Amino acid sequence: MGSKRKLRASTSCQAEGTSSESGIDRFSDLPEEVAHHILSFLNFKDYTRVGALSKRCREIHLSAPEMDFGAISEVIIMNEKTIKALYQEGSKPTRIWDKIQNLSIHCESLNNKLVPAVVSLLRRMPNLNILCIKTSCEKLAPEKASHFGNEYWKLQNLAFIYQLKEVSIENSYGSNEIEFARYILDHARNLRKMVIAYRDQNAPSKIVGMVNRCNRISTPVVIIRRI
């Protein structure tokens, strides 16, 4: 039982938290050669489960050349807590982030506190082809998710925008998601499809207006639907 507890992590990309049941990062206590040996056997999903928990795991990848997963086309799901933890720690980008092509972000909303963390995450993924943002917030004061406009996104110089092909964004009750969608439509030259889903009954007119006003650099299929 003891050994199982040491390696059990409830902090995978698909989990709802970022700490083990005891809150202790035991992986960081392992000798470097042992840590390298363990990581060399992991596939990407298992690596992410450990990496979300252990900052040392993410950093050790820089000196572990045998960890080469190739292009990662499977969907990688990251929740809000994990994204914020990565942002707060300020961990350095590694080659593994460059491999990710399909990302799904699960959060309550693209609120004002989360946006900078999402920008930091996307900056590490220059080869992203598919992006999905799923929100779960049923009630939210619009001002808590309405701070970041199109000009903000343009200033971020995000490399992934040129590789993006498919996007799905769920709008909560603010304008952050809509402005992000506008930025993508304006700059994603290889975009083929965008789905914008909404909860607020007043959202359709705002979304349609945004789509009509933007200077689309490509000719994607744009679908607007209710959640």
36-92 confidence digits (pLDDT tens): 556 665 665 565 555 554 555 555 444 444 445 555 667 899 999 999 988 987 756
173 within a domain of the structure (yes/no): yes
67 within a domain of the structure (yes/no): no
Amino acid at residue number 172: S
This prediction's pTM? 0.70
Distance in angstroms (rounded) separating the CA atoms of residues 129 and 191 = 9
Distance in angstroms (rounded) separating the CA atoms of residues 193 and 166 = 5
- For residue 187, name the pLDDT band (cuts at 50, 70, 90): very high
174 within a domain of the structure (yes/no): yes
Q: How many folded domains does the chain comprise?
A: 1
144 within a domain of the structure (yes/no): yes
Please give the radius of gyration of the chain, using alpha carbons only, rounded to the nearest integer: 19
* Containing structural domain, residue 154: 101-226
Contact between 176 and 115 (Cβ < 8 Å)? yes
148 within a domain of the structure (yes/no): yes
166 within a domain of the structure (yes/no): yes
85 within a domain of the structure (yes/no): no
Residue 77: closest CA among 145, 16, 162:
16
Amino acid at residue number 57: C
% pLDDT > 90, the chain:
44
User: Which residue has tokens 């359709």?
Assistant: 204
Distance in angstroms (rounded) separating the CA atoms of residues 29 and 50 = 13
* Residue 171 bridge partners (DSSP): 198
124 within a domain of the structure (yes/no): yes
